[in-house]
Chains A and B, each alone.
Chain A
Amino acid sequence: MKIKDTLENYCFVLPAITIFTVFYIIPFFWVFQLGLFDWDGILPTKIFVGLANFKEIIFQDKSWWQSMGNAGWVTLIALTFQNALAFLLAMACDREMKMKNFYRVIFFIPPVLSEIVVGMVWGFIINDVSGANIINRMLIGIGLPQLAHSWLNDPKTALTTVAIVHCWKGFGWGFLIFLAGLQTIPRELYEAARVDGANAWQQFKGITMPLMVPVIVLVAILTVLGTMQAFALIIGLVGGELGGHTSVPVLRILASMRGSSRFGYACAQGITFGVVLVMISFIQYRFSQKGKHN
């Protein structure tokens, strides 16, 4: 009877396990397996190279690590600027204010737009050669001509410009999750704090922040995962890697598959990238757990 119950329980989760195995576990191992071969993606024969592809990525491929650094920089800006903006706007919309539902809709429009469309539209707004050069015209218009600049074509500013456009596109997700988190905080806590004489800053520090830690961690993990994998926006904005200055890991993986026809190497890059993302997420999770206990 106990065995029957156990089997019955397993049967309930069997479809989910099967789908997860077929679409996630097996492809992962398959991609890892391909990463151990030198293969162009067409020939039926593959040459086994062991961990050579992984060694090359880790010890020789400077452009890979440059792309990781670039993605890291964009992620850092997203984690700070984008999430701070999202948090502030969520706090504003959590209060009783006029037209708050309107703002909620407006803030959520950028995330639902296609990355490539956002890239091309912002490219048109920013670009001084093929676009409308609106940003520079505005700077000149407000008496700051010294700041007018070829934002997307200068290696010093291209990546940061990409990061800022990415923040514009991405803050809506964080906003929505933060808002949902803020609305779960019991209002009585704030009322009690006010009765005890706590000011706004003390309420924020003593109630909002501690209770929002799990939400902040969730948003941070989603931001890291989403930003590190961004690439279509870069294609739309800059057209490519700009001599390596705007290259990101996914663009490098695509270059290995498409440009060099090194499918095995691209698979190894994909696995390496996946491992890095899992490690970052795990570290963030551990920090959040530590923060919770403190």
Chain B
Amino acid sequence: MIGGIKNFKGVLVFSLLTLASINLAGCSSQPSTQAKGKSISVWHWMTDRQTAFEELAKRYEAATGVKVNFELYAPSDAYSQKVRAAAQGINLPDIFGILGEKRDFSSFIKAGHILDLTSYMNENDQAWRNIFFPKALALNEFNEDNSYGINTGTYGVPIDIMTIQMLYNKDLFKQLGLDPEKPPVTFQEFIDIGKKIKETKLQGMVSGWGEVWMIDCLANNYAFNIMGKDKVLATIRGEVSYTDPDWIEVLGLFEKMRNSGVLSDGLISMVNKTAEQLFANGKAVFAFNGSWCVNVYKGMNPNLNYASMLPPKVSDKYPMAIWGGAGSSFMVNARGQNKEEAVKFLKWFSARDQQTYLSEKTNNLSANKECVGSISEVLSQFAKSMDFATHPNIWGVSEFPAVIEALDKGIQTIILGEKTPEQVAAEVQKVKVRELDKKKNK
């Protein structure tokens, strides 16, 4: 009897201890945002820049005594999920970046996670604001007429700028009997090169079209060129149908590219890393990639002889547009205990000396316009194309994700030869109508 009671007590104590340990385990993790002395935590996903970031952190600590911890979380998908999870748990670091669309950015602001930097930018006669390329800053701003319901202001600090455009291999151009200093300017010239590529064992254009968003990027470039910005935005607002002849023409370009042989085999199952390897190894004549590729190609093949070019235009009616703007930006945690320190650090970090160092070490285009003089030739070609740059995040309206997916997948099926541009246009419009109805019913 006594033994039974003792046994019962033992079991009870064991159970309670187990429960307590579970509870304690759940409560023990402290937010990394809590300041421990003077230290700032920064989360990012930029694998290629970690070493340079750490060096800059050392310099900042030496100058100010404030320790900066750059915490790398890669790949970008994993980083994106980590930031979202941290936001849900109110556990974000002092400084972080957001990967995603303007809609996601606005949600972070609405949820009170991001500090409005407008007043800091405007101090001393807008001294901080004036060091940036306006297009780089635009991606971090919300204007008066934004459709996201965000107060007008600047909510992020651009670190670098990027453009996504085409690249061609000069040596392979020579091999094909083409002038390496004269890339194709018109779509017809581009298609004609496809016929020459078909006769060789070379691959045409490579890109990460297995990840679909880059398809969306090129489709939008041509949509701007064929129908102009206003009509593209009208389509997003639901005022123009995707079955409009201009959109069918855009979709038809992918059919023409496929038929001509200017696209690489297996393009739609290609991840961008594979595409970069093929281009860097001289197996592909063209690539469609962002300015970050300069650093990637340098690492893969320092002797690669290439140049950038705008996507060959279809029409002279409207200018060709390419996606560009801020490549990566940092935001300050509005709930962080080191807000002021974080802002001070970002001011120092975005200044000319630090950005020049970063640009030289990582071959990225700095968002600080005072650093342009110190970049390589190919990078300067990318930088010059900023005049043609646009980005969905500055349009003020966003297309429904389901419509973007239908368009991108539809283009994949056109490249596979399964559907016609007209079929895809009809399907995309069907999804658009459904999404508009859903929005109305909300």
Contact = CB atoms under 8 A, between A and B. Distances in A.
B264 to A, nearest CB: 6
A258 B76 CA distance: 11
Given A7-B8, A42-B84, A18 B19 contact: yes
B110 A43 contact: yes
A264 to B, nearest CB: 13
Interface in B385-437: 401-402, 405, 409, 412-413, 415-416, 418, 434
A15 B270 CA distance: 48
B15 A11 contact: yes
Contacts of B12: 11
B166 to A, nearest CB: 19
B77 A258 contact: yes
B185 interface: no
B8 A240 contact: no
Interface stretch (A99-107, A184-192, A241-249, A280-288): A241-249
B11 interface: yes
A139 interface: no
A228 interface: no
- Dominant secondary structure at the B interface: helix
A142 interface: no
B271 A129 contact: no
B38 interface: no
Contact of A40 (B104, B274, B442): B104
Contact of B8 (A4, A41, A63, A158): A4
Contacts, number: 119
B418 A41 contact: no
Contacts of A19: 22
Contacts of A42: 84, 87-88, 104, 107-108, 111, 113
A150 B110 CA distance: 48
A60 B405 CA distance: 15
Interface string A126-151: 01111000000000000000000010
A255 B404 CA distance: 12
Contacts of B110: 43
A129 B266 contact: yes
B340 interface: no
Nearest to A236: B271
A12 interface: yes
Contact of B268 (A18, A43, A243): A243
A73 B19 CA distance: 44
Given A8-B11, A12-B11, A130-B277, A150 B265 contact: yes
A148 B107 CA distance: 50
B265 A128 contact: yes
A56 to B, nearest CB: 9
B203 interface: yes
B143 interface: no
B100 interface: yes
Interface in A228-264: 238-244, 255, 258-262
Given A43-B111, A150-B265, A243-B415, 14 more contacts: A8-B7, A11-B12, A14-B15, A14-B18, A42-B104, A42-B111, A47-B442, A127-B266, A152-B269, A153-B266, A238-B210, A239-B210, A243-B413, A260-B405
7 contacts: A15-B14, A22-B22, A40-B104, A44-B112, A243-B416, A259-B405, A261-B101
Interface of A: 4, 7-8, 11-12, 14-15, 18-19, 22, 38, 40-44, 47, 60, 63, 127-130, 150, 152-153, 155, 158, 238-244, 255, 258-262
Interface of B: 4-5, 7-8, 11-12, 14-15, 18-19, 22, 77, 80-81, 84, 87-88, 100-101, 103-104, 107-108, 110-113, 203, 210-212, 264-266, 268-271, 274, 277-278, 401-402, 405, 409, 412-413, 415-416, 418, 434, 442
